[in-house]
Amino acid sequence: MGADSGPGAPAAVPWRKVLYERQPFPDNYVDRRFLEELRRNIRVRQYRYWAVVRETGLIAQQVSCVAVFLTVWSYMEQGDLVPSAVLWVCLSCALLGYGLYEVLGGSCVRERTRLVDLQSATIFLAFTFGFSPVLKTLTESVSTDTVHAMSAVMLLAHLVSFPYAQPSLPGSLSLNAALFGSVCLASRLPGALHTFTMLSCALLVFALWPCLLHRMREKAEWSFPWAAVLVCLAGVRGLESLWPKGALLLSLALLTLTLLCPLLLVHLQRHKDNIHGPWDEAEIREDLSRFLN
Amino acid sequence: MVLKIFFPQCCNTADSGLLVGHWIPGHNSAVVLAVIHYPFIPGQVKKYLSELQSQTQVDLTVLGSWSMPKEGKEGMDSFLKDLSTIFPQKCWLQLSREIGKRGFICQVVQNNGKLLQDREQKNGDEGSEGDKIILIHYDQRKVMLSQLHPVQDVGQKSDIEHSELRLVFQTVAHSQPLFFLDKYDDGPLKLTHWQSEGREASIIAELLKQASVPVCIFLTWLLSLWHWFCSFRILHLYPVLFISSKLSTCVQSGYRAVHFKTVFSPKKAATHMEFMRKANIFVSFLLDIALGLLLISWLYRENRISKLADTLVPVADRVAKEFFLYHIHLWSSYIHLMSPFIERILWYVGLSACLGLTFALSVLSDIVALLTFHIYCFYVYGARLYCLKIYGLSSLWRLFRGKKWNVLRQRVDSCSYDLDQNTADTTLFPLQLFIGTLLFTILLFLLPTTALYYLVFTLLRLVVVLFQGVIHLSVDFINSFPLFAIGLRICRPYRLAEGVKFKVLCQEPGTPLHLMMEINPLKCSSVLQCYRTPTYSCYPKDSWAALCKKLFVGELIYPWKQKTDKTD
């Protein structure tokens, strides 16, 4: 490599790593300081296990959210849950959550007034209620398997594209995918009121809950793990009442996600080998003709 | 230097006399037009020639002498030499023919007395090997009537040098007055040319020519009446204009009015192209009328009109019943209302075929358009709905992915949410997002239904459009096909010439080369290309790819748009 042996370099003028001055060296000449400025792993963070576990709680709780949603849907489809009851529960949860949100974020300047919030909520509810008969018969011509497959894909997409790093802003794709999937599922329910209830529930679970969670994390750090654990337990329990094996699978998945993956992450950090730095031009001195045969 | 002499075939067996013709300027060739026989008075010959020159603008001169010695008239040779002093020329041709031999003997006497002979054996130091004479025989009548293509207008390009062949054809064509004297005229001169056996004339042709002028004037007056009627203000209102531009009957009648103006103008056609155009239009029109009368005679025989009316009512009824209920009701009531009148209407409409087959076809096209108007309506509904849906879907799909359409930059940008509390981009969060997603879902699931309706109506509309297109193309074909020119090409191919071909007649030593000139007729494809009447052609204005794209997106298609200006 062109480190030391430069073509007849006069020792009088020292070589400088600049190209805007004419030097008696060729442009790709580097002296013995070749790759001196190379840096390795400058941005590698040192993870601590329990911190990572704490962060993973967010992913786990999001998966459990989906599980809760599916449980509610399943009960409604079987007819065990009355839609009006679910509706009342959703409404009270929404009000509770709104109140909590306000309490936690008291010191911040509000960018949206309460009137605007009320307005958007009313419009959304009216719109969904008006369109629920249409939504109910939307997938009548589609077979059940297709509907289930579509919803599964959409909810998976929601999980994959969820902005875990900045959950306060619901990423467009994740929210849209979740709503699409919930519309597909809701259209299989027996009545128009069921559809409306399902959509309100979906809005609550997928759009409003992450905002509240983020606010809780910001303001009351201690409450976040408890909330995550609560949601996970609710998910597992709900699934268990429907399909015990599924619950087992879910709990296994959650445990893997929460406990095993951070371990893997921390363990593999030491094998990280990133190189950064200003690059120097290399001159190949080897005989490369052996690669041609 | 090669001297070319164009000799008419009709003079091959003429008696001895003087050769009258024209030297082609710029080329070393001469065209012989006629032979003036003995006895003659040179003064009268000169007077006659100068009269003809002023009539025909062709520079007619005495070219030389022609001798075909019969028994008892041998002593002409010395007589011929004397004549070259009476009619001074720069070259004096002496053509002679012996009975029994095929070839002519040609001698050319130059002004300075030098003698040129075409002999096979020459002495070495004569040095005149380049001097040859070629005699080209031509059929005078055919060359006179023929038109050499590509046709050049007289007015333009008069300064460009014409080719030798074109000049020959022009000379023979312009010297028609020379051929008016035949052997039955009692004049001082006796000529031999293609018409000298007797002028062709027919009484019927003469009567027609005389009668055509007042007939043309009368018809032109009728046409002006029609134009005056069409120029009424009330007919220029926008709705009437719009409808009349859509109905092909009105278009075809307007087109025929233009044709008639060309054909019935009392002015004689000045150029060849004008004449051909007039003749083409006239013959096409006659054929059109003939076909129309044929159609009428077939249609009105055996009570076909009432049979058609009987089948039309239930068919129209049934067709209407297969579509939307509201339109069904409208249409079936309309049809039942009309059913007593349909036979009458069809009878009178069918009579319009006496104005020509093209008229009948245009009326048929309009009837089809009127009857399938509901298909057109449904197609428009379906297409608009589908188009809106596709548009809505595409923009909501962008929303789904989290991108916006940047109108300023005409591109798709991702929606960026500002974290800053003061300038939060709250336009898309949360309400519009939810509603957008819901709408997207609804549109997506309704897409198969709408697409199917659109497909069905589009297919029906395409069938109708195809049918109308076929009719229009055939009308266009009848309008523009140059029937007269094709007939001329088939029956009298020498009238439309593309060039000439030469055949060697006699190549004996001691005589000049004899060639027979035959006219090469124009190829049929060139005839079509050259003489097509310009039409308002309605070729499809979209290519196949553009058509498919329009169908996919849901834009309305009008494939047979009429071009507003003529294509020549």
pLDDT per position as a tens digit, B383-432:
998 999 999 998 888 877 777 777 777 777 766 544 333 433 444 456 77
Please say if the pLDDT value at position A3 is more than 70.
Answer: no
Instruction: Identify which of B537, B397, B417, B420 has the alpha carbon closest to the alpha carbon of residue B475.
Output: B537
State how far the Cα of A107 lies from the Cα of B24, in Å rounded to an integer.
112
**Collapsing DSSP states into helix, strand and coil, what is residue B66?**
strand
Per-residue pLDDT, averaged over B177-199, amounts to 78
Running DSSP on this structure, what letter comes out for residue B515? E
Cα(A99)–Cα(A92) distance, integer angstroms: 10
Q: Is residue A280 part of a domain?
A: no
Contact B400 A176 (CB under 8 A): yes
Q: Looking at residue B153, what is its pLDDT?
A: 64
> Does the N-terminal peptide bond of residue A14 adopt cis geometry, omega within 30 degrees of 0?
no
Q: ipTM value of the model?
A: 0.76
Residue B167 CA to residue A208 CA, distance in Å, equals 97
- In chain B, what percentage of residues exceed pLDDT 90? 2
Q: Which domain holds residue A127?
A: 49-270
CA distance A262 to B260: 95
Q: List all residues of chain A from 160 to 179 with a beta carbon under 8 Å from chain B.
A: 166, 169-173, 175-176, 179
Residue B81, pLDDT above cutoff 80: no
How far is B306 from B344, CA to CA, in rounded Å? 9
Q: Place B159 in a pLDDT band, splitting at 50, 70 and 90.
A: low
* pLDDT for the residue numbered A64: 95
Predicted confidence at residue B420, as pLDDT, reads: 39
Instruction: Please name the helix (run of DSSP H) or strand (run of DSSP E) that holds residue B239, with its range, or none.
Output: helix B238-246
B487-516 pLDDT, tens digit per residue, is 888 898 888 888 888 888 877 777 788 888
Find the distance separating the first CA and the last CA of chain B, reported in whole Å.
44
A275 in contact with B, Cβ within 8 Å? no
- Chain A contact probe: residue of B401, B416, B437 with most A CBs at under 10 A: B437
Q: DSSP alpha helices (H): ranges in B16-105? A: 42-56, 77-86
Give residue A11's pLDDT.
Answer: 56
CA dist B383 to A53, B214, B323, B487, B547, Å?
A: 56, 57, 16, 48, 14
How much is the pLDDT for B423? 38
In a domain, A19, yes or no: no
Q: Which residues pair with B37 in a beta bridge?
A: B17
Burial class (CB in 10 A: 0-12, 13-18, 19+), B291: middle
Q: In chain A, which among 119-148 make CB contacts under 8 A with chain B? A: 120, 123-124, 127-128, 131, 134-135, 138-139, 141-142
| Residue A255 predicted with pLDDT over 70 | yes
10 Å Cβ neighbour count for B271?
A: 14
| A4 within a domain of the structure (yes/no) | no
Would you tell me how many other CB atoms lie within 10 Å of the CB of residue B401?
Answer: 13
Would you state the structure tokens that stand for residue B161, as one six-digit string?
């040098």
- Using CA atoms, how far residue A189 sits from A11, A68, A201, B163, B447, in Å, is 86, 17, 14, 92, 22
d(CA A117, CA A94): 12
How far apart, in whole angstroms, are the C-alpha atoms of residue B568 and residue B511?
51
Q: Do B424 and A111 touch (CB under 8 A)?
A: yes
Q: Which of B130-139, B157-166, B382-391 has the lowest mean pLDDT?
A: B157-166
Max Cα–Cα distance, chain B, nearest Å: 132
Tell me the two tokens of residue A80.
Answer: 């065990």
B437, A175 contact by CB (below 8 A) = yes
Q: Which residue of A has its CA nearest to B435?
A: A124
Q: In this predicted structure, what is the pLDDT of residue B566?
A: 41
Q: Does residue B440 surpass a pLDDT of 80?
A: yes
CA dist., res. A76 & res. A71, Å (int): 9
Cβ neighbours of residue B266 closer than 8 Å, sequence gap 6 or more:
B213, B216, B217, B220
Alpha-carbon gap: B480 to the closest alpha carbon of chain A (Å):
55
Amino acid identity, residue B333?
S
| Average pLDDT, rounded, for chain A | 86
Report whether B110 contacts B116 (CB < 8 A). yes
Identify the pLDDT of residue B14. Answer: 81
In terms of Cα–Cα distance, which of B10, B3, B1, B51 is closest to B33?
Answer: B10
Query: Cβ neighbours of residue A51 under 8 Å, at least 6 residues apart?
Result: none
Distance CA(B139)–CA(B172), nearest Å, equals 11
CB B150 within 8 A of CB B272: no
Question: Which of A112, A124, A138 minimises the CB distance to B434?
Answer: A124
Q: Is residue A37 in a domain?
A: no
Instruction: Give the count of domains, chain A.
Output: 1
CA–CA gap between residue B163 and residue B78 (Å, rounded): 38
* DSSP label at residue B407: T
C-alpha atoms less than 13 angstroms from C-alpha of B481 in its C-beta half-sphere: 17
- B214 burial via Cβ count (<10 Å: 0-12, 13-18, 19+): exposed
What pLDDT does B128 receive? Answer: 45
Window from A259-273, B206-220, B417-431, B462-476 with minimum mean pLDDT:
B417-431
Q: Which residues of B460-470 are buried (b: 16+ CB within 10 A; e: fewer)?
A: bbbebbeebbe
CB-CB neighbors (< 8 A) of A175 in chain B: 433, 437
Look up tokens 């998945």; give the residue.
A253
pLDDT at B565 over 50: no
Mean pLDDT, rounded, of chain B: 78
Residue A251 forms contact with B (CB below 8 Å): no
Complete DSSP assignment for chain A: -TTS--TT--SSSPP-S-SSS--SS-TT---TTTTTT-EESTT-----HHHHHHHHHHHHHHHHHHHHHHHHHHHHHHT-S-HHHHHHHHHHHHHHHHHHHHHHTTTSPPSS-HHHHHHHHHHHHHHHHHHHHHHHTTTTTS-HHHHHHHHHHHHHHHHHH--SSSTTS--HHHHHHHHHHHHHHHTTSSSHHHHHHHHHHHIIIIIIHHHHHHHHHHH-TTHHHHHHHHHHHHHHHHHHHH-HHHHHHHHHHHHIIIIIHHHHHHHHGGG---EES--------S-GGGGG-
- Is cis: bond before B430, omega within 30 of 0? yes
What's the gap between Cα B140 and its chain centre?
27
pLDDT of residue B47: 86
Residue A33 covered by a domain? no
**What count of CB pairs under 8 Å joins A to B?**
74
Q: What is the torsional sign of CA B196, B202, B206, B209?
A: negative
Is residue A8 pLDDT above 70, yes or no?
A: no
**In this predicted structure, what is the pLDDT of residue B176?**
84
Q: Which of B381, B362, B245 is nearest to B324 (CA)?
A: B381
- Report pLDDT digits (tens) over B209-234: 888 888 888 888 888 888 888 787 77
| Cβ–Cβ < 8 Å for A180, B440 | yes
Of A111, A141, A203, nearest to B434 by CB-CB distance is A203
- B-proximal residues of A, 195-234, CB under 8 Å: 199, 203, 207
Exposure of B385 in the CB half-sphere (CA atoms within 13 A): 19
- Left, alpha or beta for B510 (phi > 0: left; psi -120 to 50: alpha)? left
Query: Cβ–Cβ of A138/B441 closer than 8 Å?
Result: yes
Distance CA A63, CA A60 (A): 5
Predicted confidence band of residue B322 (pLDDT cuts 50, 70, 90):
low
DSSP reduced 3-state for B291? helix
Q: Cα(B87)–Cα(B62) distance, rounded to whole angstroms?
A: 7
Judge contact between B62 and B90, C-beta under 8 A. Answer: no
Rg (CA), chain B: 38
A100, A214 contact by CB (below 8 A): no
**Confidence grade of residue B119 (pLDDT, cut at 50, 70, 90):** very low
Length of chain B measured in residues: 568
Both tokens assigned to B230: 């069409």
Residue B3: which of B33, B31, B28, B32 has the closest Cα?
A: B28
pLDDT in tens, A151-203: 999 999 999 999 888 766 666 788 889 999 999 999 999 888 999 999 999 98
Which pLDDT does position A91 carry in this prediction?
Answer: 93
- Structure tokens of A121? 């909520």
- Is A15 touching B (CB cutoff 8 A)? no
